């Protein structure tokens, strides 16, 4: 009997030796046999027990849910410590289990579930069911997150970007999940849209060039030029963030998923009736919307805008910036000059709504009218005089004086002088007004010589005696008789024969209205008289010569 017992004991001992004892550094199953002092006492078999802090059984931010009798997995760090107990860890067991699971998910490119539980430099910490991962700040959402509070502790999916078991590093992304679901949502929404379709959306964002409209998970761009038929300087003039608007889908790019929207396309195009509503030559009121170097844009109605070119702005202001003639928002009368429906352009005229000032001047100041004005400019060829209607007239050098050369006469004038002149010509087409200052007192030469013809004999008064002849005056007009014209006989061609104030009969040989001079000759008069006497009394060969007779008679006079 004793021998049998010894055999059984040896067999049992051998069996116990052959049993697989748990290996240190591995995960083993155990049973909670007691809970005391914040610790769970766990029987891991093989007559080994160990203690684990209850907090190791809890998820971050949650209370532990364990009870006596629960089976749990723990990590065996050492089979026995100084107190004869196994050194075990629930946390390390969870980590090992989590790493196995996460490596498989990473290899299969699958999402993993976790919860953000802490904030660290550059991002957040995430509990992935036992393993702690790093979530960079840039990977939290598709847009920067100012307050991550509402996301803390929430169980949600993450994508593993990188993991290194040896170093214990895991990097995850929440943004990748959101972008993927957003892309799926965008694809679904875009699939239900078609070009030309009218849809409703909410204004999400406003920029300088347009607004982004949310069409229910996908954004479309409403460009500023497609908001209204009229000119829109900034989208905020028409839209506000959060506003619901009706838009038309203009274009869908299937590759980039970009959607172009329009609002004006849902309204009547005012250009359809522009030709009928604004016939050529008609005058309309408009509002100046924009001013450039080359002209001003005038809005005739919402969506119909025309350009008043700088050349059509003023009759008189030729080289002035349009901003000096009109101002933005000013109401003006304009005339329709041209319409190009294909290019959606209207050419307008501002000056055409006002009378041509040269026409008005011509009507009010016919040729011969005396006018007054300020000397605006002095040039080498004459004076420019400011006249009514903001226009100028020109006095040419030749029209300054009867007696002086123009170059000398112009020296008598200064800029700013007020002068009177006579209108001599108005050319409306060339926008030119010719004035004359010398004509103010009338044409004395013309008046004096009005009844005088070439060949006439007139009486003049000697005003000066010179070596080359004598100066004479007729009706206030001066003339000069050369020595050779003083008498028929050379012996009598002496200027000293005459005295100042002598009255002399002379024959008119020439009337020069340009130089304003009379050609006079005593010699010509004597010859003409002799010829007349001969014809009347006979030949000069009969007896005494007629010249002698006439000469004696003249001497007696």
Reported as a single tens digit per residue, the pLDDT across 6-40 is 777 666 655 554 445 566 656 667 777 777 766 77
- Provide DSSP, 494-534: -GGG--TT-EEEEEEEEEETTTTEEEEEHHHHHHHHHHHHH
Residue 350 scores a pLDDT above 80: yes
Residue with tokens 């009867």: 402
Closest C-alpha among 488, 494, 502 to residue 460: 502
- Give the integer Cα–Cα distance in Å for 228 and 239: 11
Residue 268 scores a pLDDT above 50: yes
Q: What is the pLDDT of residues 269-323, one digit of tens each?
A: 777 888 888 889 899 999 999 999 999 999 888 878 889 999 888 888 878 899 9
Three-state SS for 199? Answer: strand
Q: Pull the structure tokens for residue 211.
A: 């607004």
Q: Are residues 422 and 473 in the same domain?
A: no
pLDDT for 1: 47
Q: Are residues 56 and 102 in the same domain?
A: yes
Q: Are residues 366 and 337 in the same domain?
A: no
Q: What is the pLDDT of residues 98-138, one digit of tens each?
A: 777 888 888 888 888 888 888 888 888 888 877 788 988 88
Q: Are residues 476 and 409 in the same domain?
A: no
Report yes or no on 9 lying in a domain: no
Report yes or no on 477 lying in a domain: yes
Report yes or no on 78 lying in a domain: yes
pLDDT for 31: 74
Comparing 181 with 251, the larger pLDDT belongs to 251
What HEC string does 313-339 produce?
A: CCCCCCCCCHHHCCCCCCEEEEEEEEE
pLDDT for 557: 46
pLDDT for 86: 65
Comparing 471 with 142, the larger pLDDT belongs to 471
Q: Pull the structure tokens for residue 137.
A: 């700040």
Report yes or no on 541 lying in a domain: no
Q: 19-56 in b/e burial notation, b at 16+ Cβ within 10 A?
A: eeebeeeebbebebeeeeeeebbbebeeebbbbbebeb
Least confident of 71-75, 476-480, 534-538, 548-552: 548-552
Q: Are residues 371 and 426 in the same domain?
A: yes
Report yes or no on 48 lying in a domain: yes
Least confident of 197-206, 321-330, 440-449: 440-449
Q: Are residues 35 and 89 in the same domain?
A: yes
- In whole numbers, what is the pLDDT of the chain averaged over residues? 80
pLDDT for 18: 46
Q: Are residues 255 and 287 in the same domain?
A: no
- Total domains, the chain: 6
Q: What is the pLDDT of residues 500-550, one digit of tens each?
A: 888 989 898 888 766 667 889 988 888 888 888 887 766 555 445 555 555
Q: 349, 370, 388 — which closes off a domain? A: 349
Q: Are residues 70 and 148 in the same domain?
A: no
Report yes or no on 12 lying in a domain: no
pLDDT for 384: 92
Provide the pLDDT confidence category of residue 362 given band limits of 50, 70 and 90.
confident
Residue with tokens 């069911």: 129
Q: Are 443 and 399 in contact (CB under 8 A)?
A: no
Q: Pull the structure tokens for residue 529.
A: 């008289």
**Which residues form the domain of 250?**
193-266
Q: Are residues 431 and 455 in the same domain?
A: no
Average of per-residue pLDDT across 64-71: 69
Report yes or no on 10 lying in a domain: no
Q: What are phi and psi of 526, to 5 degrees?
A: -65, -45
Q: Are residues 52 and 124 in the same domain?
A: no
Least confident of 134-143, 144-153, 235-244, 256-265: 144-153
Q: Are residues 255 and 314 in the same domain?
A: no
Q: 247, 266, 285 — which closes off a domain? A: 266
Closest C-alpha among 183, 98, 178, 97 to residue 132: 98
Q: 400, 419, 436 — which closes off a domain? A: 436
Q: Are residues 381 and 427 in the same domain?
A: yes
The CATH number for 304's domain is: 2.40.50.140
pLDDT for 303: 78
Average of per-residue pLDDT across 379-399: 87
Q: What is the pLDDT of residues 202-247, one digit of tens each?
A: 888 888 888 898 877 778 888 988 888 777 888 888 888 888 888 8
Report yes or no on 17 lying in a domain: no
Which residues, including other chains, have CB under 8 Å from residue 12's CB and lie 6 or more apart? none
pLDDT for 315: 84
Positive or negative, the CA dihedral 369, 372, 373, 379 is positive
């Amino acid at each position: 009997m004793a021998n049998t017992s010894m055999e059984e004991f040896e067999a049992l001992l051998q069996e116990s030796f052959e049993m697989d004892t748990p290996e240190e550094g591995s995960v083993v199953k155990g049973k909670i046999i007691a809970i005391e002092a914040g610790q769970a006492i766990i029987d891991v078999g093989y007559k080994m027990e160990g203690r684990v802090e209850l907090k190791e059984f809890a998820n971050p931010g949650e209370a532990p849910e364990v009870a006596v009798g629960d089976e749990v997995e723990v990590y065996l760090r050492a089979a026995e410590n100084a107190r004869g107990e196994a050194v075990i860890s629930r946390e390390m067991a969870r980590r090992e289990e989590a790493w196995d699971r996460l490596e498989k998910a990473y290899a299969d490119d699958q999402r993993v579930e976790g919860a953000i539980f802490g904030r660290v430099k550059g991002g957040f910490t995430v509990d992935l069911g036992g393993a702690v991962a790093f979530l960079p700040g840039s990977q939290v959402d598709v847009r920067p997150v100012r307050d991550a509070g509402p996301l803390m502790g929430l169980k949600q999916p993450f994508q593993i970007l990188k993991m290194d078991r040896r170093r214990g590093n895991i990097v995850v992304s929440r943004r990748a999940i959101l972008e993927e679901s957003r892309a799926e949502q965008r694809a679904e929404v875009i699939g239900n849209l078609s070009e030309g379709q009218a849809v409703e959306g909410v204004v999400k964002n406003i920029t300088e060039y347009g607004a982004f409209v949310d069409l229910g998970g996908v954004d479309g761009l409403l460009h500023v030029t497609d908001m209204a038929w009229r000119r829109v300087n900034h989208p905020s003039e028409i839209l506000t963030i959060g506003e619901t608007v009706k838009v038309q889908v203009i274009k869908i790019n299937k590759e980039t998923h970009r959607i172009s929207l329009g609002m004006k396309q849902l309204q009547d195009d005012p250009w359809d009736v522009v030709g009928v509503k604004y016939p050529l030559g008609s005058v309309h009121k408009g509002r100046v919307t924009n001013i450039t170097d080359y002209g001003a844009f005038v809005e005739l109605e919402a969506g119909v805008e025309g350009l008043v070119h700088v050349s059509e702005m003023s009759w008189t202001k030729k080289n002035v910036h349009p901003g000096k003639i009109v101002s933005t928002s000013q109401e003006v009368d304009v005339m329709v000059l041209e319409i190009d429906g294909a290019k959606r352009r209207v050419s307008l005229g501002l000056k055409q709504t006002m009378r041509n000032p040269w026409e008005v001047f011509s009507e009010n100041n016919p040729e011969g009218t005396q006018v007054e004005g300020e000397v605006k400019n002095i040039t080498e060829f004459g004076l420019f005089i400011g006249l009514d209607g903001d226009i100028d007239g020109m006095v040419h050098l030749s029209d300054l004086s009867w007696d002086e050369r123009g170059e000398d006469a112009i020296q008598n004038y200064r800029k700013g002088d007020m002068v009177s002149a006579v209108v001599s010509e108005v050319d409306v087409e060339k926008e030119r007004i010719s004035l004359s200052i010398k004509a103010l007192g009338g044409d004395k030469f013309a008046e004096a010589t009005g009844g005088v013809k070439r060949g006439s004999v007139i009486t003049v008064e000697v005003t000066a005696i010179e070596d080359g002849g004598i100066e004479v005056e007729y009706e206030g007009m001066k003339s000069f008789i050369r020595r050779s014209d003083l008498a028929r006989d050379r012996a009598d061609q002496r200027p000293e024969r005459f005295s100042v104030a002598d009255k002399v009969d002379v024959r008119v040989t020439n009337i020069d209205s340009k130089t304003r001079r009379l050609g006079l000759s005593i010699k010509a008069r004597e010859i003409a008289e002799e010829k007349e006497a001969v014809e009347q009394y006979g030949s000069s060969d009969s007896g005494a010569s007629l010249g002698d007779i006439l000469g004696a008679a003249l001497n007696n006079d």
